[in-house]
Amino acid sequence: MKYELVAGFETHIELATKTKIFCGCTTQFGGEPNTHCCPVCIGLPGTLPKLNRQVVRYGIMAGLATHGEIAEISKMDRKNYCYPDLSKAYQISQLYAPLTIGGYVELSSGKKIRLHHIHIEEDAGKLIHQHGDTYVDYNRGGVPLIEIVSEPDIRSIDEAREYVEKLQQVMRYIGISDCKMQEGSMRCDVNISVRPAGSEKLGTRTEIKNMNSINNICKAMEYEFERQVDLIESGGQVVQETLRYDDATNTTSSMRSKEDAHDYRYFRDPDLVTIHVTKDEVEEIKASLPELPTEKCKRYVDELSIPEKDAQLLTKYRNISEYFDKACKGVKSPKTVSNFIIGQIFSRVETESDKEIFDVAVSPEQLNELVKLLDSGKIRNNLAKATLEKMLDSGKGALEFISESDMGGLDENAMLELCRQAVESNAKAVEDYKNGKEKAIKALVGFVMKNSRGKADAAAAEAKIKDLIG
């Protein structure tokens, strides 16, 4: 029997605020243990948490960027559980009235992965288990998170990968998180089940935690899919449980025993008042958002005639797309700008993290100037390419390398003269061409291009040479 995978994601993202969600302690990553703490974030009795305004703003931004509806009224709840990573024995979160509702993430196929909601909450402390005991550092306790909860709309590992990449991309675009999985500023829990292909009924799901890269998420899902299918095929039943992924062995194993079954006894946190968001505030935040990557990509394809694949590369990181937008201002052919970026510039910005920063020696304005010279026919493509290399080496503008005499096309006579010279000094190529070797003409055109310092029009030169030896 063929089985179908069904998965939904719970994605935690650490917000890029300066301070924690309920107190003024810094959110800086790392630091000596228990030095980014105060009575509020270690939960001492008698303290009063006060919500960070920026957390609400970032949460709304996340909701708008994923096409969700912003709740006019939302509230904070207590999620009770007893574990050393929470000093208060409860986490302040949202259950009954989350900040944003619904929305979706659109995959490149056009399929929409629906979101259930996004809520804001505090992160827990860090536990280090050693010598059988637990060492607790509360620096991370109280760092603001959003949790993005999807519907079980994901049907394949590829869709899962793209969903996470798209979320990461959009959250980075709007600048609310750096979304680094390795550092834990983006963490995914995956709910996964299987069912016979074509069936509408959902199977029993398991939840996988503890994956710190997109590759690990995919590997864990592959493993868990196989495990569940094998279990069902051999007459067994999937048990609803939480699993831990171990990347060293590429397996999943049970995390919680049954008697610890979830019973969080959520209730409204009496320390925190209602969050009321007006329509005007939502409109103001919406207007402040940058153009989002999916829309940008569509615009590049539809309006600028950039091939889809290239448009995806240009929009992968916000800095690249902003560079491209600036370099395109007023040019006739955005495709030329795109080719320069994806070709020559990318070859100098190789790693993903460098691409994300996109610190290039040539400014977008300088590239714009070069492309305009090309647009106006003042210089030819090869000269532009060679010039861009020099610009990338030096950080200087195009006009530093292109003299007046390089500009403007060749006049008719000079062109004819060069073509004659080409024919005279390349007897072998002429003969090859006459003997039917079409490609030999390229050597002759190359001669003209070289000796005109790239000013000649290659197609015109080829036609003229054919006339001469024809």
Partner 1 sequence: MVTREDVENIALLSKLFVPEEELDSLTQSMQEIIDFADEINKAPSSDEAFDNINNLSNVFREDEVVESYNSEEILKNAPEQAENHFLVRNRE
- In the complex, least distance from residue 74 CB atom to partner 1, rounded to whole angstroms: 10
Binding partner 1 by CB under 8 A: which of 69, 128, 213, 239? 128
Calpha distance 152→192 (Å, rounded): 8
**Residue of 4, 29, 50, 312 interacting with partner 1 (CB under 8 A):** 50
Q: Quick check: 42 binds partner 1 (CB under 8 A)?
A: yes
By C-beta, is 80 or 242 nearer to partner 1? Answer: 80
The pattern of x and - marking residues 345 through 374 that bind partner 1 according to CB under 8 A reads ------------------------------
**What is the contact mask toward partner 1 in residues 3 to 32, using x (rule: CB under 8 A)?**
--------------xxx--xxxxx-----x
Residues 6+ apart with CB under 8 A from 55: 15, 17, 21, 120, 144
**169 or 185, CB closer to partner 1?**
185
Residue 80 binding partner 1, by CB under 8 A: yes
Block residue for tokens 């493993």: 223
Q: Which residues pair with 113 in a beta bridge?
A: 105
> Radius of gyration over alpha carbons of the chain, in Å?
30
Give the residue among 336, 398, 317 at the shortest CA–CA distance from 365. Answer: 398
Q: What's the closest the beta carbon of residue 91 comes to partner 1, in angstroms?
A: 15
The least distance separating partner 1 from the CB of residue 260, rounded to whole angstroms, comes to 9
Per-residue tokens: 11: 């994605």
Q: Is 140 in the site for partner 1 (CB under 8 A)?
A: no
Tell me which residues in 256-295 interact with partner 1 (CB under 8 A): 259, 263, 265, 268, 272-276
User: How many residues are recorded in the chain?
Assistant: 470
| Residue placing its CB nearer to partner 1 in the complex, 137 or 457 | 137
Report angle CA 453, 454, 458 to the nearest 5 degrees. Answer: 135
Kindly determine how many residues on this chain lie close enough to bind partner 1 according to the rule CB under 8 A: 46
d(C-alpha 66, C-alpha 8), whole Å: 16
Interface segment toward partner 1; rule CB under 8 A; list 5-13, 45-53, 112-120, 406-414: 45-53
Cβ proximity of 378 and 405 under 8 Å? no
Distance of CA 251 to the CA centre of its chain: 27
Q: Which of 3, 9, 90, 138 binds partner 1 (CB under 8 A)?
A: 138
Which residue stretch of 42-50, 174-182, 416-424, 430-438 sits at the interface with partner 1 (rule: CB under 8 A)? Answer: 42-50
Nearer to partner 1 among residue 128 and residue 357 (C-beta) = 128
3-state secondary structure (DSSP) of residue 425: helix
Residue 84 near residue 136, CB atoms below 8 Å: yes
Residues 194-233 that bind partner 1 (CB under 8 A): none
Q: Which stretch binds partner 1 (CB under 8 A): 76-84, 240-248, 284-292, 392-400?
A: 76-84
CB-based burial, 222-252: b 16+ in 10 Å, e otherwise: ebbbebbbeebeeeeebeebbbebeeeeeeb
- Residue of 30, 69, 84, 175 that binds partner 1 (CB under 8 A): 84
Amino acid identity, position 384: A
Under rule CB under 8 A, residue 52 binds partner 1:
yes
Taking the chain, what is the end-to-end CA distance rounded to the nearest angstrom? 68
Residue 335, SS3 per DSSP: helix
Q: Report the interface residues with partner 1, using CB under 8 A.
A: 17-19, 22-26, 32-39, 42, 44, 50-54, 56, 80-82, 84, 87, 128, 132-138, 259, 263, 265, 268, 272-276
